[in-house]
Every structure is written in structure tokens, then in C-alpha cells.
Amino acid sequence: MGIGKIIISKESIKKRIISLCRELEQTTFSQSLHVIVILKGAAFFASDLLANLKKETTLGFIKASSYGGKTKSSGKIKLNILEMGTIKNKNILLIDDILDTGQTLEAVKKAIVKYGPNSVKTCVLLDKPSRRIVDCNADYVGFQIENVFVVGYGLDFNNKHRHLGDIHTFTP
């Protein structure tokens, strides 16, 4: 029990981030880009992504949670618009760690749209389509994974194991 096998190595993560950046540079907005990071899980991914993105951005944060110390989402999304920034008439790139049920990403997108941005695109490190409950897909995906609980590279269990460089399976 606990931390299991590595399913995505830190080397694979670094390579994929570089290719995601090139995709974003070629396909996202030619104008300004405001990035909103969903905390806490996406902090590692967003930091590395922005450090490698050859595009000037402004930055904001939203805190969202639905797990509450469990390995399955409660379905109740708690949002805290910390420092989202001014987003009216801006092009938004919303970054999250994992797209699982789709409920969190969908709730955050709906909250953001109320503030009048020009557009909202989404980028996630991990996509777990087998768990989707709502019709929500990311515009940019790092890796698609099976239906396993994972920790590392910002992803946690009960706020632990975020520090791991690789992404591991986890069994509480």
C-alpha cells in the first residue's frame, strides 16, 4: 500500500511539456494570453509549462477542490477565486493537473466565463477519460492515463506526495 510504480517518468514529463509548449505557441492566441492555474495540483505543471512557453503571459490563480482526503471526487466542487486577475476581454488558458470526472474543470470554466473573457482554452497534465461524468474535454493534454489514482509532480493524496518528480500509482 502507498506509493506504487512509476507510470510517467520526470524525463517523459519534461519532453511532453516542451512539445505542449510548441503546440500552444502554434495554435493559441496571437494576442495576449492570461493563464489561470488551478491550485494546488497544477502548480508544478504550470510552472514548468510557463517557463518553457515562448509567449508573454499574465498570471492568475483559482483554488478548486473536490477530493477532501479521499481517492474519489465527492462531486462537490469548492472554488476560491484567489487571484484570478482581470480577465474581461482576455484570452484565457486554464491549466489543471488532471481531468478526471470533468466536474472541477467544468465548474471552473463556468465561473470564469461569468467575467467576460474573449475565450477560454484548457490544458491538463493528465486526462482520465474513463472516469468522465460530465461532457468536458481539454484542448491540450499532456498524457492520457488509465483509471488509477496517482501522486507526484503536484498531484497528491491528502496533501502529501506532491514533491515526487515522477508520477506514481497510489493506494491508500
Tens of pLDDT, residue by residue over 26-77, are 876 666 789 999 999 999 999 999 999 988 899 999 988 765 555 555 566 7
Select which of 100, 135, 139, 166 is catalytic.
100
Tens of pLDDT, residue by residue over 107-158, are 999 989 999 999 999 999 999 999 999 999 999 999 999 999 999 999 999 8
Name the pTM for this structure.
0.89
- 127 catalytically annotated: no
Nearest to 36 by CA among 85, 70, 75, 71: 85
The pLDDT assigned to 105 comes to 92
Query: Are the C-beta atoms of residues 1 and 149 closer than 8 Å to each other?
Result: no
Q: Which amino acid is at 41?
A: G
Domain 10-146 has CATH 3.10.100.10: no
What ranges do the domains of the chain cover? 10-146
Q: Which residues have CB under 8 Å from 52's CB, separation 6+?
A: 17, 18, 21
> What are 51's three cell numbers?
517557463
The pLDDT assigned to 54 comes to 87
The pLDDT assigned to 13 comes to 98
The pLDDT assigned to 169 comes to 96
